[in-house]
Amino acid sequence: MNFIENGTVTSPKGFKAAGVIGSVKPSNTTKRDIALIASDVLCSTAAVFTKNLVKSSAIIVTQKNIANGKAQAVIANSGNANTCNADGEEKALRMCELAAQSLGIDKSDVIVASTGVIGQVIPIEPFEKSVPVLAQLLSENGGTDAAEAIMTTDTVKKEAAVSFELDGKNVTIGAIAKGSGMIHINMGTMLSFVTTDAAVSPEMLKSALTEAVEHSYNMVSVDGDTSTNDTLAILANGLAGNSEITEKNDDYKVFTSALTKLCKTMAKKLAADGEGATKLIICNVKGAKTPVDAKGVAKAVICSSLVKAAMFGADVNWGRVLCAIGYSGCDVDVTKVDVAFESAGGRIDVCKNGAGIDFSEELAKQILLEKEITIDIALNDGTGCAEAYGCDLTYDYVKINGDYRT
């Protein structure tokens, strides 16, 4: 499997995209905020959504549209979440209609997604004006514009693609994503659209996506808040020409492995660009009694506000890591726990068998001043392992969220 240079959601065969300035938020006159992604042919599709009981109307409409496992296009916007609005479903349906009319497809074959401020009525006029333009602008080079159009407080566009061989054919999977705050285990205020030219049945696509998400997007936490809008959808158009994957055979395993690696890459991009973040934090856990225990420990550490604050200050306060492990609720023998910190600046062991050891504060500081830091935890009690992704907690996080709505 190889990552494609400048890869994006239009890297797979038969996919085009575009993004325009629609001024969904009236004050926006400079940033693309409406995206359209379309396949040349009808696709198998699958999606996972927020587990928050409060859901965007876009999610409700999309769930109905893809109940048959088919879709051909995605219409998405930033600037307004279309959540907690009396006319939300009506507006989401209208977005689907506009996309379908412009593309000449059925409105039920459109995935709709929104992100932005909750509780403000979403205007339909920007879509009526912009969607026909988007359809005309659709291009194999439009993935990056679409990636920009779904950004809110993100500081960088998030996109990637991988290629690999499947059934003797070259297959590609591409993705874009947005998400910077309101991101917590079980996704967050996260939109991600994945495309592939592999031939995969809807059932196997849903299974592969579910597996991939458990090891990637669902292992990300920025701030402990689970959003109302998170949507991760994948479309597979089969234009690579491989034999359709209809069962969990070797081809399914190859496809799922590639999808998981791509999703992990996107998850790291999301964590690294957390609101106000200056550092990506990876928590690597091994030697747990079970994989479930490994995940629980990794999640607890990455979610700890005290750990996150220590990483911001480059303070090797390893006791906070042990504290998080202790309240994780997982089956852990704390007298066996080893902890180390690692980055491009080096590696340092700070805890052995649940107790502190002598280490160089100078080297530790050097390690924690890097942009990507790994907290390496060995539980020494089994074979379970997991990896979770987060970021440091900075002053800017409060600044950003103190006036987000205004």
| Residues identified as active-site | 189
CA quadruple 5, 49, 115, 130: dihedral sign = positive
- List the beta bridge partners of residue 349: 340
Angle at 317 between CA 311 and CA 321, to 5 degrees: 85
In 206-361 the beta strands, taken as DSSP E runs, fall at: 231-236, 280-288, 338-343, 346-352, 355-356
Buried b (16+ CB within 10 A) or exposed e, 214-249: bbbbbbbbbbeebbbbbbbbbbbbbbbebeebeeee
The arrangement of strands across the sheet holding 338-343 comes to 355-356, 346-352, 338-343, 372-378, 280-288, 384-391
Q: For the purposes of burial, counting CB atoms within 10 Å of the CB of 6, is it exposed (0-12), middle (13-18) or buried (19 or more)?
A: exposed
Q: Name the token pair of 8.
A: 């994006």
User: Residue 70 forms beta bridges with which residues?
Assistant: 44
> Helix/strand/coil (H, E, C) string of 273-294?
CCCCCCCEEEEEEEEECCHHHH
Q: Specify the pairing of strand 158-166 against strand 2-3.
A: antiparallel
Q: What is d(CA 218, CA 283) in angstroms, rounded to the nearest whole number?
A: 14
Confirm if 154 and 180 have CB atoms less than 8 A apart.
yes
Classified as helix, coil or strand, 214 is helix
- The token pair at 39 is 């396949």
Name the nearest CA neighbour of 154 among 274, 316, 26, 67: 274
